[in-house]
Amino acid sequence: MHYDTVISWKATLSEKRLKRGDSWQKNYTFAHFITMRTFRRLQLTAALIPGLLFTSFFATGQKLIKPPNVQESWSQAYEPFRIAGNLYYVGTYDLACYLITTPQGHILINTGLAESVSMIQSNVKALGFNFSDIKILLATHAHYDHVGGMAEIKKITGAAMMIHEKDAPVLADGGNSDYAMGGQGSTFEPVRADRLLHDEDTVRLGGMQIIVLHHPGHTKGACSFLFDVKDDSRSYRVLIANMPTILDPTKLSGMPTYPDVGKDYANTFAAMKKLQFDIWLSSHASQFGLHQKRKPGDAYHPEAFIDRKGYDAMIEDLQKAYLKRLEDK
């Protein structure tokens, strides 16, 4: 028997006793009935309060501050295209976003700025895919120019957000705790990670296996991604590299919330030199020379992105800049 039914039955019994002069019994039982019902409602309200507070916090939320640097090319439209196999470019002129398609849904790596979401949606649609089929969201690192649209895309698609554990706090507070650019407020809408990634973890979906490579320095949780794609002719080993550029505020001798930043950069350079791949790409189109390797309207040509020499030269140039910063510190 349901608890409310038992209480009501007791109240009815008490009314019968009232006719015999047992007035105290009715008063006690009815009060008990009201008290228990009220108590149960209070329990339910208490259980809901944390969720309501969390929703209210992000709905009315912190006001986002203006990002410290936004370049015109970051929001400039660019033609989406097939890079190799089931890997596609869906980003802007300079902020690279990658779509990996599978029969069980798709993976999106990076989103660019918040205002680029509609552009990415249009690019995905133009390639013949459904935006709502995106199941996993990844990011090379948690800066506003690469995860600015992540919150909105997560809401639209319901995709699972996955990021390295050391960048998850930055993603969750909208960039405010970033060791170099944080401290002034959120520069993008916060997102809670659904899965925390670690070095050499594998992200799997629909036959795809993406290896996570932790390459810290630019951020604490910066990552590159290594995976295979294939077309009718051959397979390609692809590296989406998080290039270890150094922001102006970074002091390689150590930052207050990142004392080992200089050491991490050194380890990242050493690790990235050893990587083996066929095609390399990165977080910014300008870093891997997209506009020199491909022009709008060009036919499918994966070989244009096979460029070990260019990769090695980029790593060498960045390491030289790193060493010079060490000398100047």
| 101-129 tens-digit pLDDT | 999 999 999 999 999 999 999 999 999 99
CA distance 55 to 64: 17
List own/partner pairs for 232-235 with CB under 8 A and 24 or more apart.
235/85
The residue with greater pLDDT, 9 or 238, is: 238
Q: How confident is the model at residue 11 (pLDDT cuts 50, 70, 90)?
A: very low
CA distance 8 to 50: 32
Q: How confident is the model at residue 62 (pLDDT cuts 50, 70, 90)?
A: low
3-state DSSP call for residue 59? helix
Structure tokens at 146: 């690469």
Looking at residue 84, the DSSP 8-state letter turns out to be E
Q: How confident is the model at residue 61 (pLDDT cuts 50, 70, 90)?
A: low
Q: How confident is the model at residue 171 (pLDDT cuts 50, 70, 90)?
A: very high
Cite the beta strand spans of 145-275 per DSSP E: 160-164, 195-197, 202-205, 208-214, 223-230, 235-241
Q: pLDDT digits over 286-310, tens only?
A: 999 999 999 999 999 999 999 999 9
How much is the average pLDDT of 79-93?
Answer: 98
Structure tokens at 244: 């270890």
Return the exposure string of 250-286: e unless at least 16 CB atoms fall within 10 Å of the residue's CB, then b. Answer: bebeebeebeebbebbbbbbebbeebebbbbbbbbbb
Q: What percent of the chain has pLDDT over 70?
A: 81
Taking each helix axis as running N to C, give the angle between helix 23-60 and helix 3-18, from 0 to 180 degrees, rounded to the nearest 10: 150
What's the pLDDT at 329?
63
pLDDT greater than 80 at residue 35: no
Gyration radius (Cα) of the chain, Å: 27
8 Å CB contact between 172 and 165: no
What's the pLDDT at 63?
86
Lowest mean pLDDT among 16-25, 186-195, 199-208, 265-274: 16-25
Amino acid 204 reads R
3-state DSSP call for residue 75? coil
8 Å CB contact between 30 and 17: no
Cite the beta strand spans of the chain per DSSP E: 81-84, 87-89, 98-102, 105-109, 134-138, 160-164, 195-197, 202-205, 208-214, 223-230, 235-241, 279-282
How much is the average pLDDT of 233-259?
Answer: 97
How much is the average pLDDT of 57-69?
Answer: 70
How much is the average pLDDT of 266-274?
Answer: 98
What's the pLDDT at 328?
80
| Helices vs. strands in the chain: H and E counts, helices first | 9, 12
Structure tokens at 124: 């995905």
CA distance 112 to 148: 6
Q: What are phi and psi of 11, to 5 degrees?
A: -65, -40
pLDDT greater than 50 at residue 53: no
8 Å CB contact between 237 and 278: yes
How much is the average pLDDT of 47-72?
Answer: 60
Mean pLDDT over each residue of the chain, to the nearest integer: 86
Strand order in the sheet with 134-138: 81-84, 87-89, 98-102, 105-109, 134-138, 160-164, 195-197
Taking each helix axis as running N to C, give the angle between helix 261-273 and helix 308-328, from 0 to 180 degrees, rounded to the nearest 10: 160
CA distance 34 to 36: 6
Structure tokens at 233: 């002719």
pLDDT greater than 80 at residue 260: yes
Structure tokens at 172: 């969750």
8 Å CB contact between 271 and 295: no
How much is the average pLDDT of 208-219?
Answer: 98
8 Å CB contact between 123 and 111: no
Lowest mean pLDDT among 35-44, 45-54, 192-201, 204-213: 45-54
The residue with greater pLDDT, 327 or 159, is: 159
